[in-house]
Structure 1
Amino acid sequence: MSESITARLEHGPRRGETIIMLHGNNAGSWMWEPQTERFQDRHILTPDLPALGERYREPWPGMGGAADDIAGIIRAHALGGTAHVVGLSLGGVVAIHLAQRHPELVRSCMITGAPIAGLTRLERLLIPPQLPLWRQRWYWQAQAMTFGIPADARDIFVDSAVRVAPETNRETYREVAAGIPEEPIAYAGPLLAIAAEKEQHSVKDAFPTLRRRAPQLQSWIAPGMHHPWNVEDPDLFTNVIREFVDTGVWSLADRSPEVTGTSRTHR
């Protein structure tokens, strides 16, 4: 990564345990500003994923390559060479690949909005025709309103999205649509998967699949939330991270073998 990108990577004091946050597709490290503002007592890493954010000129290396890239950042910048991993959307998928390929680096893993088992038949029909539109500002301006992105963050949201290369959009879609391999996940530590109540069903429908590969899974439906709920309710999102990182448990999570796809507890 360039010196300017590295300068934006680290936040907070270099003490305690590191939390690394992996952003969603067509976004960048800027999306974690609500969390870095609330985590001024923690050491936080907010890297841009390869081919996204300020690294948009780089080629997409595949999920495995992206996970290896993040592993290198953890080794180089995280305290003690390990980190608590938080991933949203595409960042959540990369986080699972990281946990599989480099389990020794992961202290805990929290993912949200990540369709780990792949996309539904309907999503596979609807999304590919939209891929050419991912280079159009009006498309992402509409998405920003749908997602509840605050007005003061919409310009950077749109700017980040439209400059992503078409090849990156095609490849990330293809890999997300396929889902993760049918094999046990090597990582055995605390794992929390969250779906926002108002996002696509493929996220919460993936809970049973993920639990078969990682029996320690905790899962939760965030009531009333949309896909990027770290900006929709930053206090709640940050509180979930803080409790999970500190205890290895989210108190509202479902830890039973069966997941019905509905939330047990609403705020």
Structure 2
Amino acid sequence: MPATSTPDQLQPPPRDTIFHLSLDPQPPSPAAPTLILLHGLTSSHLEWSLVIPHLQPHYHLLLVDLPAHSRSSSLPPPYIIPSMADQVASIIQSHARNSQAHVVGMSMGGFVTLNLARRYPSLCLSAFVSGATPFEGITRWLARNNWVLYYGFWLSNLIITDGMYDWMCRVMDMKEHRELRREIVRNVKWQVIRDVYGSIVEEFTVEGMAEVGQVRCLSVAGGKQDQVEVTRRVGQVWKERGLTGRLGSRAFVVRGAVHAWDLQFPDVFAGGIRSWVERDDLPVQFEVLE
């Protein structure tokens, strides 16, 4: 990740800000820290609906729709990762308790989280990312030829019926979420896919992950679909550069998990977040990658 800006040199708040939803802990607790949850590409804040019941008793939650997605769909381009991180930084400054948050990101939201942790470390109490490792091999080729991905998204939305969607959920042991699926169909846009994948290729390398050097980070791979070996190498970079010893940054895999495993094992996903935030032992499903 190229060091293109000074850490914590905050941009002025954007004129048009992303949609956010604030959920107080139940029962209310003014001492509860803030978690901000960042969804994946073409998704929305609804992605977290199954995780929220496991987290809301303990934390103040901020849910957002990232630029060009759902209730933030009218925001203007560019839709690159650093611009999204700027928007999230503004939300944390304005709405998180003490203007700080534990940041959780899935897929695209994970890359936003890593960019945020590198450039705005004073806003981030910790970072938990899943399915957000630098692209290599066929994944990198697809990201560079993102028109293939766009037509793949478009074609799958065209041919997958509700019945097929239900069957796919059963096969992957995922919870059905019809409302989220409708949002995903609406959020497939060429410029968004082009900008997001292009900026990930430009911004992120395995060696560059050492630049996230002031925030304690957990990177986790879903063992069935994510880049497990690349995730392992990220953990090795953090260890070799002293970030594991100094901060505790580490990499893990959940072997039975698909990419969007927050919709597959929401209780385990939430348990991992809580353990990471509280500096406790992670659930047994988390296998460390050394």
Q: Same fold (TM over 0.5)?
A: yes
Cα deviations by residue, 1:110-131 (Å, 9 ceiling, x for unpaired): 100112x224236625864231
- 1:33 aligned residue: 49
Aligned to 1:263: none
SS at structure 2 position matched to 1:97: helix
1:198 is aligned, of 224, 229, 234, to 224
Q: How many residues align?
A: 253
2:233 to 194, 208, 213: 208
Which secondary structure state, in structure 2, belongs to the residue aligned with residue 85 of structure 1? strand
The answer as to whether partners of 1:192 and 1:218 remain within 8 angstroms in 2 is yes
- Residues 92 and 105 (structure 1), Cα distance of their counterparts in 2 relative to 1, 3 Å cut: same
Q: Secondary structure at the match of 1:109?
A: strand
Alpha-carbon contact 1:119-1:176 (below 8 Å) kept: no
Coordinate RMSD, CA, aligned? 3.0
Unaligned runs of 5+ in 1: 260-267
What's the counterpart of residue 221 of structure 1? Answer: 253
Unaligned runs of 5+ in 2: 1-14
User: 1: CA distance between counterparts of 2:274 and 2:217?
Assistant: 14
Among the aligned pairs, what percent are the same residue?
A: 23
Structure 1 residue 143: Cα displacement: 7.2
Identify the residue that residue 104 of structure 2 maps to in structure 1: 86
Aligned to 2:68: 51
Deviating more after overlay: 173-182 vs 187-196 = 173-182
Query: What is the TM-score with the length of structure 1 in the denominator?
Result: 0.81
- Judge conservation of contact 1:107–1:189 (CA < 8 Å) in 2: yes
Three-state SS of the structure 2 residue aligned to 1:239 is helix
Partner deviation per Cα, 1:72-115 (whole Å, 9 max, x = no partner): 11111111110111111000011000000001111111100112
Which secondary structure state, in structure 2, belongs to the residue aligned with residue 195 of structure 1? strand
DSSP-derived class of the 2:110 partner: helix
From 120, 129, 134, the counterpart of 2:137 = 120
In the TM superposition, what whole-angstrom CA distance separates every residue of 1:163-219 from its partner, at most 9, and x where no partner exists? 342111111122234451554424433211100110132x54143246425632211
1:100 maps to which residue?
A: 118
* More moved, 17-26 vs 56-65: 56-65
TM-score, normalised with respect to structure 2? 0.76
Aligned partner of residue 114 in structure 1, secondary structure:
coil
Contact 2:18/2:65, CA 8 A, preserved across alignment: no
